[in-house]
Amino acid sequence: MHIVLLGKNGQVGWELQRALAPLGRVTALDRHAVEYCGDLSRPVELARTLRALRPDVIVNAAAYTAVDKAQAEPELATQINATSVAVLAKEAEALKAWLVHYSTDYVFNGSGSIPWQEQDPTAPLNHYGASKLAGEQAIAQYCSRYLIFRTSWVYAARGNNFAKTMLRLGNERTELNVISDQIGAPTGAELIADVTAHTLRQTMQQPALAGLYHLAAKGETSWHDYAVLVFEQARRVGVPLALTQLVPILTTAWPTPAARPLNSRLNCNKLEAAFGLTLPPWQHGVKHTLTDILEQAIEQA
């Protein structure tokens, strides 16, 4: 089996390089790839690359993920998150290949407090969410063999994420204000990659499993309470922090270019039932990955 992985150096892409390896030959590309094109802002060259490589599976971990910046450059976000994803879908269909793709809790408007199910109405609040939704819709329209995973609040030891931002700011500042009324589940790139490998293998043997799934760690928290855990772990291993006060604030007190959903809870029952999986509590992965991040921090200090 030949897998083409796009976005190999992102949080999820990096972990997929590891998790997909036992499934077959992996051609891992990023946007700077030289021999082939792995750049989602160049759809023509991208299609040419896929026709040349003729993969059995395309796994797309590349995306435009700068949520606030997307408000200022919506065309580029749409190109990468939707227009080029439509190209992937059409090329996958022509090759009779499988397409694996990732989407986000930000396709929802965040109303209420019930965890969102796959079929619930979408209504993105910002351009990133709208572009990701358009990507999902293109896949459903053009491709018959696909897995789309909507996940949330992704973190990893490698790459940029909220936990690492908190550690950096906690080292620089004595006081931090962090939003306590946006609720979701921090989900590790390792978990996403491992679940991808498992479900892809099963779906290729049982194509009726194809479709859209929510994939997030169990439980829920706010950004503020997530930050509390991050700093607890940092103190536990003796990382020096300037921070003395972590203040919970409301979203209304933190204006940003992009609006964000208050309710980012994802109901993952469909995934667990279809594949016989049990998703772990969000704290497990966060603690595990923080151990890696904090060891790096201590080595660098």
Ligand X SMILES: NC(=O)C1=CN([C@@H]2O[C@H](COP(=O)(O)OP(=O)(O)OC[C@H]3O[C@@H](n4cnc5c(N)ncnc54)[C@H](OP(=O)(O)O)[C@@H]3O)[C@@H](O)[C@H]2O)C=CC1
Ligand Y SMILES: Cc1cn([C@H]2C[C@H](O)[C@@H](COP(=O)(O)OP(=O)(O)O[C@H]3O[C@@H](C)C(=O)[C@@H](O)[C@H]3O)O2)c(=O)[nH]c1=O
Instruction: Give the active site residues.
Output: 128
Comparing C-alpha atoms, which of 199, 188, 164 is closest to residue 274? Answer: 199
Q: Does 48 participate in binding ligand X (rule CB under 6 A)?
A: no
**Contact positions with ligand X (CB under 6 A) in 139-168:** 151-154, 159
**Contact positions with ligand X (CB under 6 A) in 51-90:** 61-65, 80
Angle of helix 11-20 versus helix 189-205 axis, rounded to 10 = 50
- Interacting partner of 179 out of ligand X, ligand Y, none (Cβ under 5 to 8 A depending on kind): ligand Y
**Contact positions with ligand Y (CB under 6 A) in 239-268:** 254, 260
- Interacting partner of 102 out of ligand Y, ligand X, none (Cβ under 5 to 8 A depending on kind): ligand X
Q: How far is CA 71 from the centre of its chain?
A: 19
Q: Does 37 participate in binding ligand X (rule CB under 6 A)?
A: no
Closer to ligand X by CB, 35 or 301: give it.
35
Burial 12-50 (b: 16+ CB within 10 A, else e): bbbbbeebbeebeebbbbbbeeeebbbbbebbeebbebb
Distance CA 99, CA 59 (A): 6
- Interacting partner of 64 out of ligand Y, ligand X, none (Cβ under 5 to 8 A depending on kind): ligand X
Distance CA 49, CA 46 (A): 5
**How open is the CA angle 13-108-286, to the nearest 5 degrees?**
45
**Contacts with ligand Y, residue ranges (CB under 6 A):** 65, 67, 104-106, 152-154, 162, 165, 169, 176-179, 182, 223, 254, 260
**Contacts with ligand X, residue ranges (CB under 6 A):** 7, 9-13, 30-31, 38-41, 61-65, 80, 102, 104, 132, 151-154, 159
